A and B are shown apart, each in its own frame.
Chain A
Amino acid sequence: MRYITPRKAAKGLGAAGPASATHKHWSMTVSSVALAILTPAFILVVGSAIGLPRAGVLTYFAQPYPALVTALFLVVGMLHFISGTRIMIDDYLDHTERKVAIILSQLFGWAVIAAAVYALARMALSPVV
């Protein structure tokens, strides 16, 4: 038998526990407002670029507005994805599966950010041939 009461076992696991769910909810709120602004801009920017030849893509994303909208959407979006996926993992998985899924989703999110930022920085800052 366990020597702790159910109350003790549950303490700290709730909304205001060490996981700081209030803060998580608030950061999802802030990033969702940012993404609500960025989403239409991102769709217009990327939609205009699909179909361009390679040279056209390189000069298009070397401009500040397309580069910054794309970078902001992908960085904020993938961080929002990591947090949102964490909520799903907490709901659907337990134990080792949960830990593995949390780690993989974070590594995946940051890998996408790294790839996107590298590609955009390359186009904007150093001419590609």
Chain B
Amino acid sequence: MGDIPRGNRPLSPHLSVYRLPLAAITSILTRATGQAMLAGILLIVWWLLAAVTGPQAFATADWVLRSWLGFLVMTVALWSLWYHFLAGIRHLLYDARLLIDIAGARQSSIVILAGSVVLTLLTLILFIFA
């Protein structure tokens, strides 16, 4: 695109001066959560690998996984996974031409944000307090 004369005019979408609407925030969060959940995935894969490596390796990985930091990483990863799950379902609905208008994108953004928190809390309750 280097050949096209663009002059000095500012280029859209003016990200630095533009207050992102809720649908834009939930859209970019889909990408962010897709990357963030990798921290939890890596912890789980390390833990599985440690289990077949030996008792010492498992003790280390299990300690990290169940430490405060491990709990924090796993909780953020869990929320990321549920968020990405709900946002992915919205993408499938968008492709089916559902919700793809201003009101639909806004309302589904609220559902995704609230739903991901609720699903995360339910999962934590299921495995920690049950």
Contact = CB atoms under 8 A, between A and B. Distances in A.
Interface of A: 2, 6, 9-10, 29, 32-33, 35-36, 39, 43, 46-48, 50-51, 54, 57-58, 61, 70, 74, 77-78, 81, 84-85, 88, 112, 115-116, 118-120, 122-123, 128
Given A2-B3, A54-B58, A74-B41, A61 B48 contact: yes
B51 A77 contact: no
Main secondary structure of the interface of B (DSSP, over half): helix
The 10 A-B pairs at the shortest CB distance, nearest first, are namely: A119-B48, A122-B52, A47-B127, A54-B58, A119-B49, A57-B51, A32-B88, A116-B45, A39-B85, A128-B52
8 contacts: A6-B4, A39-B82, A43-B78, A51-B66, A57-B51, A88-B35, A118-B52, A123-B48
A88 B31 contact: yes
B125 to A, nearest CB: 11
How many interface residues does chain B have, given as a range? Answer: 35 or more
Interface stretch (B7-15, B17-25, B89-97, B98-106): B89-97
B27 interface: no
